[in-house]
Amino acid sequence: MPRFDYQEVLREIHQEVQPLIGRGKLPTYIPALAEISPDKFGLALHTVDGQASHVGDSSERFSIQSISKLFSLTLALRLRGAKTWERVGREPSGTSFNSLVQLEYERGRPRNPFINAGALVTSDILLEHLDAPQDNYLDFMRHLSGIPDLRHDEEIFQAEITSAYRNRAMANLLKDFGNLSHAVDDVLEFYCFQCSIMMSCQELAASCLFLANQGVSSLCGEVLPRRKAKRVNSVMLMCGTYDAAGDFAFRVGLPGKSGVAGGIVAVVPGKMSLCVWSPALNEVGNSYAGTKALELFTTKTRLSIF
């Protein structure tokens, strides 16, 4: 495989997706997301051998939203290990990210940690291990990213809590089935806090690099054992983009995790991590231009895992 000039590849992609930026819809459930300019686009990558490339608005921070599910799972695996899987599965869901149907049929055991119900369980697990959950979580993210001033956005945080009816329904159903040990309000608050953390493409790509590097971060050493890191990648591929996971695997061919603010992180095992951001979403809730950019990336570089 030829050595690529990744900076050049990113520049090409930026150019080619230009007509697609802004296509799709902004989420409307909280003002802070609805008001962001749909014209933003950033793309960054970090390789395991130390290269970094980026284009566009790659240093502008946005709320990481569901990308936090990836970090929460990582932290749960560090603190609780394989026992995490006793309370949440690792199968794709075949339904929307916020459906209660499967959760009821399967008696309160979420299909995987990357749908909302699963992330609520992960958050509940973390609450058992963290003394000051919000501070500890931020510390973990600062450690992972190497960015000491990482913080959350209070306005987004509060808005998420206020509008979280569907998530609140889910948390109460989990509680009813005995799969939450903390108070519903505490779990929801912590979950919304995670979603409201602000990071840029560059920072997110750096923070995921350990997943491309057998669990080891160049910034902070071993984040997860090799085998666990691989397993996070497998769950991410199977479940990271909701009910479009199959299509994402088909088009992009990389483990990836998306968020409702338009960010998507992706991992090329053994090689690099990427993060793309563009706020307008396709009909399944993933960044429209972002998904296309990643598809172009694997087409150009032939780095699909398949």
113 binds its own copies (CB under 8 A): no
Nearest approach in angstroms of CB 296 to its own copies is 13
Q: Which of 58, 88, 99, 242 is catalytic?
A: 242
By CB under 8 A, the count of residues binding its own copies is 49
224 binds its own copies (CB under 8 A): no
Nearer to its own copies, 102 or 134 (CB): 102
Q: Enter the tokens of residue 175.
A: 């509680």
CA proximity to 209, closest of 144, 303, 264:
144
DSSP secondary-structure letter at 287? B
213 binds its own copies (CB under 8 A): no
Longest Cα pair distance anywhere in the chain, in angstroms? Answer: 55
Among 12, 139, 222, 247, binds its own copies (CB under 8 A): 247
Report residue 305: phi and psi, to 5°: -75, -10
Q: Which of 187, 232, 260, 267 is catalytic?
A: 260
- Mark whether 68 is an active-site residue: no
Nearest approach in angstroms of CB 304 to its own copies is 5
Name 56's bridge partners: 42
172 binds its own copies (CB under 8 A): yes
Pairing of strands 216-217, 221-222: antiparallel
d(CA 198, CA 200): 7
d(CA 170, CA 99): 8
Going edge to edge, which strands form the sheet with 62-63? 62-63, 197-199, 151-152
- Mark whether 218 is an active-site residue: no
Which residues form the catalytic set? 66, 69, 191, 242, 260
Residue ranges binding its own copies (CB under 8 A) = 89-95, 99-102, 104-105, 111-112, 165-166, 168-173, 175-176, 184, 227, 230-231, 233-235, 237-239, 243-247, 249-250, 253, 255, 269, 299, 304-306
